[in-house]
Chain A
Amino acid sequence: MDLELSEEESELRDNVRAVLAGICPPAVVRAVFEGKGDVAPVWAKMVELSWPALAIDEEHGGLGLGFVELGLVAEELGRAVAPGPFLATATQFAPAVREVGAGSPLAADLLGRVAAGQVTGTVALAEAGRWEPAAVAATATETDVGWALTGAKAAVLDAAEADEVLIVARAAGTAGPDGLGAFVVSGGDLAVTPRTVVDPTMPLADVVLDGVVVPPERVLAAPGAGDARVAEALERASQEATVALALVAAGACRAIFERTVEYAKVREQYGRPIGSFQALKHRMADMFLAVERATALCYFAALAIAEDDPRRAEATAMAKAAAGECQRLVVRDGLQLHGGIGMTWENDLHFLLKRALAAGALYGDDVHHRARLAHTLGLVARDDELEEARA
């Protein structure tokens, strides 16, 4: 197993980092936090550089690179607290379209337009704090003019901004992985309520599905009782979204950690740099471990996805759990070691803290993913199995 970046991968990372330093310096991030940001130039530059095309296959006009490369970009987005539609479009929408709609003309069209930078997108999957496709309750009912969707989606990234929203809903009377379908709706056609979020560079919104009708040509996968293929495809796509978010969190955490170490070298008290005190050294050594532990697991998961290894589901849960655990430690100690200056709005540190928290939570925090692992490792029964046993 070779978990170190190849020369090409390092070059890509350096290049992405340099571009992001230019297009979203702290002033741009601050403007978004203060409600006067404009993310259009950030996205325009990414499109100009073909970033949305990175992991889309060549058949659909993409560059045909793999998920490791996409992960490298995600880590840098976290490090820069970069705003804009890249994350939702490239790591959520495009993988879901590819996995669910494989081979369909609708999928081909959407992937082609994502690769060309003509369309942004997101995925409306989660409901009320549940991130697993099998937990979806929203329903799709077939009518004369298409499918009518009813239900409520929660915490959808970029729901108020995206051009296209992939919505997951199930055939009435089905449950669990059985009977899921996927539908594409223009963002403008949805009833969307933006949430007041900790990190406005990753805007979230709730979506109410009040019978919105999806015409047949916009159905990516029609729901069918007895068919679990859509759930499987969505699991695979969710793994990409999850690992990308884990890398966003890990990237933000690494930046917090690096800023903290630099600050501890220059901030003096009692006539010496505070970084010379052993109590602080040990906390920074532990921050370093937490960041490296999470990053290593993230790239293992990215590689498992890129090579379609059977360990991809477990590796994904471990990566996101480790990123969440990393966030808990690094946000806390990063802020604590900065002292009062870290509490001020004026200091840029809080953008990173908030990005680490938000990315750590979306698609499941460490508790959620450890609970998943407790089940897959055979240690506890799943909650629904427990309920069945009780009934």
Chain B
Amino acid sequence: MRLTFGDEVEAFRQEFLAWLAENRPSEEEMAADPAVSSAHIPDWARRWTRRQFDAGWLVPGWPPERGGRNAGPVETLVYQEELTKAGVPRTTNPQGLGIVAPSILDYGREDQIRGYALPILHGEKSACLGMSEPDAGSDLASLKTRAVLDGDHFVINGQKVWTSGANYADFCFLFCRTDPDAPKHKGISVVLVDMDTPGITVRPLAEIVKPEHPDLNEVFFEDVVVPKENLVGQMNNGWAMANGSLAHERGMVWLSGVLGLEDEIDKVLAEAPDKLARLTPTERAVVADGLVQSAIDVAAARCLGYRGFAKLVRGGSAPEQALMKAFTSESRQRLALRAAEMGADHLVDLAPTPTEHSWLEAYFVTFGGTISAGSSEIQRNIIAEKVLGLPR
């Protein structure tokens, strides 16, 4: 055990910081044209992704031809830390860069890599993930969207829901049923579907926060014709990719959860003295205790995450990693509500003043973390069954 990384890692950090200072998008250009969806890539973001790719800073762990520099896992972690501290998003299409591109690189053919994965890495295309359906949420393997092979093309019919960014994405990494007679995990395939293909209808779902900028969508497929060569990997082998996709996603989640929590607790503790001043000493003690518990959560999330990470780096297993998704998302939820409660007339106004950050909105947004990508309840089932070995 030790508190700091070695000199080589710190040198890597300095190299990245120097590059970042020269090449980062400015606060002004980001504020002037913010990303309004998880598949919306404003011009500054396109240029930023390309700059990162060309300099080998997009996915540092990958080889240079894929936007990396063959960095190790510790260096990759340092890179993420510094990017977050600088307040610069790595991408505005997280599911594209974090899940779709790596899945295509893992399972796709060379022409699919050229046509779909590299354009994501160059900031030229954005992707959405077609997974959940009205009757297949946590139980994803029950999905029904049907792709029927007819000569040299698939005909797709069905519906997806909660599809982040479908209203802006260039293409969809679509999970669909290709063998309705096989056991449910064994009849699923992945097909790449350009979102401008005839027969696709995207209906944005306004959310409870910022309804004017919907990110979740229903996507309807009606006799959508897709070339057979858009099948990714083997026919009926989609479930392996579903697990692989989520593994890519869970691989990123703990660190962004921790870094997000650290950023938020710093803000809350900075705001607290002024906001708590209006309370009686007794009220203040009660509220302060909640904030302290959140501060402990944040420190614990960092320690747990880094501890699990160190185990993985050494090639061991890290059961605590399974805890991170539920723990960080629930910690953010508790913290956001406590922060909202600090405001004057707490929980009445959306924000203390119209220009101030709304912790109440942030609170609602945190439910995205506890519901999506395996809800907190599913996470507990996974922990109980896969980590603790309890019977199904």
Contacts and interface: CB of A to CB of B under 8 A. Distances in A.
Nearest to B6: A2
A300 B314 contact: no
Residue picked from A284, A321, A380, A386, most chain B C-beta under 10 Å: A380
A145 to B, nearest CB: 47
A303 B296 contact: no
Contacts of A286: 380
Contacts of B384: 275, 281-282, 284-285
Contact of B296 (A299, A304, A322): A322
Interface residues of A, number: 50
Given A261-B390, A307-B2, A378-B272, A1 B296 contact: no
Nearest to B279: A380
A265 B391 contact: yes
A264 B388 CA distance: 11
Contact of A373 (B272, B295, B303, B391): B295
Interface string A275-318: 11010011011101100111011011011101101000001001
Nearest to B293: A370
B276 interface: yes
Given A281-B381, A285-B383, A3 B327 contact: no
A278 B381 contact: yes
Interface stretch (B54-62, B120-128, B206-214, B281-289): B281-289
B180 interface: no
Nearest to A6: B1
Q: Interface of chain B, helix or strand or loop or mixed?
A: helix
B21 interface: no
A288 B390 contact: no
B252 interface: no
Contact of B288 (A275, A300, A307, A374): A374
Residue picked from B5, B276, B310, B384, most chain A C-beta under 10 Å: B384
Contacts of A27: none
B110 interface: no
Given A307-B3, A379-B272, A386-B281, A292 B391 contact: no
B292 A288 contact: no
A281 B385 contact: yes
A296 B3 contact: no
A315 B380 CA distance: 28
A273 interface: yes
A213 to B, nearest CB: 43
Contacts of B380: 281-282, 285-286
A374 B292 contact: yes
A379 B291 contact: yes
Contacts of B344: none
A4 B307 contact: yes
B300 A297 contact: yes
A288 B389 CA distance: 12
Contact of B383 (A9, A273, A288, A373): A288
B303 A289 contact: no
A305 B314 CA distance: 24
Nearest to B287: A379
Given A6-B1, A289-B323, A284 B291 contact: no
A178 B304 CA distance: 38
**Across chains A and B, which 10 residue pairs bring their CB atoms closest together, nearest first?**
A281-B384, A4-B310, A296-B303, A379-B288, A3-B307, A285-B380, A275-B390, A374-B288, A285-B383, A293-B300
16 contacts: A1-B5, A4-B311, A261-B389, A261-B390, A284-B388, A288-B387, A294-B300, A296-B300, A297-B299, A297-B300, A300-B303, A325-B293, A325-B296, A371-B289, A374-B289, A378-B273
